[in-house]
Homo-oligomer: A and B are copies of this chain.
Amino acid sequence: MSSVSAPRNARERVRAQLTGEILAVARRHVAVGGAVNLSLRAVARDLGMVSSALYRYFPSRDDLLTALIIDAYGAVADVGEAADRSCKRTDLLGRWLAVCKAVRTWALANPHEYALIYGTPVPGYVAPETTIEPVVRFSAVLLGILVDARADGRLAESALPVSRSVVRSIRPLRAQAPSDLPDAAVVNGVIGWTHLFGAISSELFGHRHNVVDNHEVFFDCEMRRIAALILR
């Protein structure tokens, strides 16, 4: 992990730089042709080196992809946090909509990187622990809105009570959420989070063809309706 911290000598410095260049080229390739078309040999060609040399920096193609996946999760967390911060703390609906819009905008600008994390997972692939950090960073943004809503008494009181079995089913998230957040809010949070990425995937993967023709307008509408389920 010393490659992350300051490189001590010339060798480590040039190694860190070349690693960065490989990642940059790989990211460009994924952006153009998607993860399926990411070829180590093509990346090597772009860098004017031979494919076998790449294995000094990434043990396998999957490891290179993993680095890009972590990047993508980080980018989502970044745009989410930025959008959240750009709003007045008390404007809960505004914060929610800003975060949704920011993620969608990022996804439209980087469709293949979005697909990298929210599309079909590679069959044998297991996400490394390293992805957890940016994922919880984004979920913290959504939880933050819920917590502030709770503090301001702005949580929607739901018509449907949350059964004990449902409460049990969200125990993993419950453990990470502030304990004074009502169960119903946590449930609604997962629903909102699900719908956010469901809507973006639906649009990006072409399932709204012949259904919606102004995606932005409809997206805003649906995220508002989901928000009404969560906030008041």
Contact = CB atoms under 8 A, between A and B. Distances in A.
B166 A37 contact: no
A137 B224 CA distance: 29
B190 A197 contact: no
Contact of A34 (B123, B127, B197, B212): B123
A7 interface: no
Contact of A214 (B132, B168, B213): B168
B169 A222 contact: no
Q: How large is the interface on A (under 10, 10 to 19, 20 to 34, 35 or more residues)?
A: 35 or more
A134 to B, nearest CB: 13
Nearest to A159: B228
Given A194-B195, A198-B194, A198-B202, A162 B115 contact: no
Contacts of A37: 123
Interface string A18-49: 00000000000000011111000000000000
Contacts of A213: 169-172
Given A37-B123, A119-B120, A166-B217, A194 B172 contact: no
B197 A197 contact: no
Interface stretch (A52-60, A97-105, A147-155, A203-211): A203-211
A217 B169 contact: yes
A66 interface: no
Contacts of A199: 194, 198
A121 interface: yes
A214 B121 contact: no
Nearest to A162: B221
Given A121-B205, A194-B202, A202-B198, A169 B228 contact: no
Interface in A108-128: 112, 115, 118-123, 127
Nearest to A227: B160
Interface of A: 33-37, 112, 115, 118-123, 127, 132, 158-160, 162-163, 165-166, 168-173, 176, 187-188, 190-191, 194-195, 197-199, 201-202, 205-208, 210-215, 217-218, 221-222, 224-226, 228-229
